[in-house]
Amino acid sequence: MESFDLYDIHRHRTGLTIERGTKVPEGYYRLVVHVCVFGSDGRMLIQKRQPFKSGWSGMWDITAGGSAVAGDTSQEAASRELLEEVGIDYSLKGIRPAMTIYFDGGFNDIYTVNMDVDIDSLNLQPSEVEQVKWATEEEILEMLKEKEFVLYKTSFISLLFFLRNHNGTFTHKDPTKKK
């Protein structure tokens, strides 16, 4: 049975763990990671979840994601999920997430990776992933509208596409700042 580290509100490991399927106790948090792979043409690699998978069954989703297991750093968990789910061996060591989203009971680190991948050569995890394909932002937003994609907020999807080539929240450097 997999176990997950519990964190405090400041994101420090507490030394406590819980087993998969156990509710996170109040005042503690767990770590979840997602990785979005973008090709040089700007499309995102997306996966279709297996119809028998619990949660969002048969729906399209971003490239890879899951819970960090006990002992994992965020980067290790993201690299592991990317390899396990879609067969991409890529180290995120030393790379910070593009953003972190806080949810009830946890932290969700989201990484963006720019790389071209031949989807026909990928080794998909049969217990979780039915298929993969490349999709534009517009195609994903249409899939959301049709409820074929995990029901993220449309602004979240648009932000992922923006963040693939930008760090931070500013569009330009401060023009009033002297050099």
Structure confidence by residue, pLDDT tens digits, 92-138: 999 999 999 999 999 999 999 999 999 999 999 999 999 999 999 99
Both tokens of residue 75? Answer: 């980067």
Q: Where are the domains of the chain?
A: 32-163
Distance CA 96, CA 68 (A): 15
Q: Has domain 32-163 been given CATH number 3.90.79.10?
A: yes
- 5: Cβ–Cβ under 8 A, 6 or more apart, which residues? 13, 14, 16, 17, 30, 31, 68, 70, 71, 72
Is the pLDDT score of 168 beyond 80? Answer: no
Q: Looking at residues 34-63, what average pLDDT do you find?
A: 97
Inter-residue contact 81 to 64 (CB < 8 Å):
yes
Distance CA 70, CA 158 (A): 32
Which segments of 1-153 does DSSP mark as H helices, in order? 74-86, 137-145
Helix (H, G, I), strand (E, B) or coil at 134: strand
Is the pLDDT score of 52 beyond 80? Answer: yes
Is the pLDDT score of 167 beyond 90? Answer: no
Is the pLDDT score of 1 beyond 90? Answer: no
Type of residue found at 118: D
Predicted TM-score (pTM) of this structure: 0.92
**Which contiguous run of DSSP H or E holds residue 60?**
strand 60-61
Distance CA 179, CA 38 (A): 34
Inter-residue contact 82 to 35 (CB < 8 Å):
yes
Distance CA 62, CA 37 (A): 8
Output the pLDDT for position 9.
96
